[in-house]
Copies of this chain bind each other. A is one copy, B any other.
Amino acid sequence: MMRTRRILGRLAALTAVLAGWAAPAAAQDPLPSWNEGATKQAILTSVKEATTPGRPGFIPAAERIATFDNDGTLWVEQPIYTQLAFALDRVKTLAPRHPEWNTTEPFASLLKGDLSAALAGGEHAILEIIMATHAGMSTAEFEQIVRAWLATARHPRFKRPYTELVYQPMLELLAYLRANGFKTYIVSGGGVEFMRPWTETVYGIPPEQVIGSRIKTSYQMTADGPVLMREAGIDFIDDKTGKPLGINAIIGRRPMAAFGNSDGDRQMLEWVPTDHPRLRMLVHHDDAAREYAYGPKSHIGTFSDSLMAQAEASGWTVISMKHDWQRIFAFESR
């Protein structure tokens, strides 16, 4: 008995040593949540090229700018954009202060829980909801509102905080690019001040590397010092052609790598110089079991047939969530 125990003990020790021996090799894979295959290989090869002087794909360190869409590229955007979920919750929170909303659209329908009736007013309805919930406070107050909401809000399907619904393979890709000298930026149609409170913790991307849509702001001096007030007007929409325009206005360099997932990202990918085709990638949502499957017919994150055709013709890589990703979320069992 004692002898068996001793042997088992020695075997356990040996196993630990062997595990320790094996660990460095496993740690060397910078993309463990990506399945082996053409997509993973394209990333590894392109980054190797980008960082090897003399290679055709070499990119000087200062020019290694990588831009990432957010909704549907780095985190879940279904069944509705997270920022829209935030706005709808804010309408409910603010409703007692706005009795007139009970009889005014789109708020009346929203408060009755009828989202599609509320959104029947199209862009105008969405703009009304955004302005009612995103304007009229200082930038510092808005940041606190966003933080407080994210701390308690849960995704309707996954029952987890939205900040946990980020794609593990993309977190690995962000870290891998940064380890190779790339400066990683978010370039999203979402509101920049909705993203900045959490992008550093969740993605390792600091506020100054987040580009997004913007509301108008004004500078006001108060007894406690200056504040920036969020005004009821759109300053900039960071979508479609807005993406290269925003990148130019803020970064002033063309990205050398760009990652998106929908028609809104087309021009951003086009704006990457054509000598880096493989670092232009689109996440394709084709995994209804683990996440969602949607494409040309979805109003959120539309991935049209013409975008697919352009990706093919241009040598852009389409990432299949189903086939290329070994796991999608960090909380999944492996």
Contact = CB atoms under 8 A, between A and B. Distances in A.
A241 interface: yes
A253 B219 contact: no
B270 A226 contact: yes
B245 A217 contact: yes
A274 B224 CA distance: 10
Interface string A240-259: 01001100111111000000
Interface of A: 62, 65, 139, 183, 192-193, 196, 200, 206-208, 210, 214, 217-219, 221, 225-226, 228, 235-236, 241, 244-245, 248-253, 267, 270-271, 274
B252 A208 contact: yes
B228 A248 contact: yes
From A62, A192, A228, A270, residue with most partner B Cβ within 10 Å: A228
Contacts of A267: 219, 226
B225 A274 contact: yes
**From DSSP, what is the main secondary structure of chain A's interface residues?**
mixed
B221 A252 contact: no
Contacts of A65: 208
A228 B245 contact: yes
From A200, A219, A274, residue with most partner B Cβ within 10 Å: A219
Contact of A250 (B208, B218, B221): B208
Nearest to A143: B252
Contacts of A245: 217-219, 228
Contacts of A206: 62
A214 B244 CA distance: 15
B241 A219 contact: yes
A221 B196 CA distance: 31
A206 B16 CA distance: 48
Contact of A271 (B210, B226, B248): B226
5 contacts: A208-B252, A214-B249, A225-B270, A226-B271, A236-B249
A194 to B, nearest CB: 12
From A214, A218, A249, residue with most partner B Cβ within 10 Å: A249
Nearest to A243: B219
From A62, A196, A208, residue with most partner B Cβ within 10 Å: A208
Contacts of A228: 244-245, 248
Contacts of A62: 200, 206
Contacts of A139: 248
Given A62-B206, A208-B250, A219-B245, 4 more contacts: A62-B200, A207-B253, A217-B245, A221-B270
A311 to B, nearest CB: 16
A236 B217 CA distance: 13
Contact of A218 (B192, B221, B241, B271): B241
Contacts of A274: 225
A244 B219 contact: yes
Contacts of A226: 244, 267, 270-271
Contacts of A208: 65, 183, 250-253
B252 A192 contact: yes
A43 B139 CA distance: 30
Given A225-B270, A226-B244, A267-B226, A249 B192 contact: yes
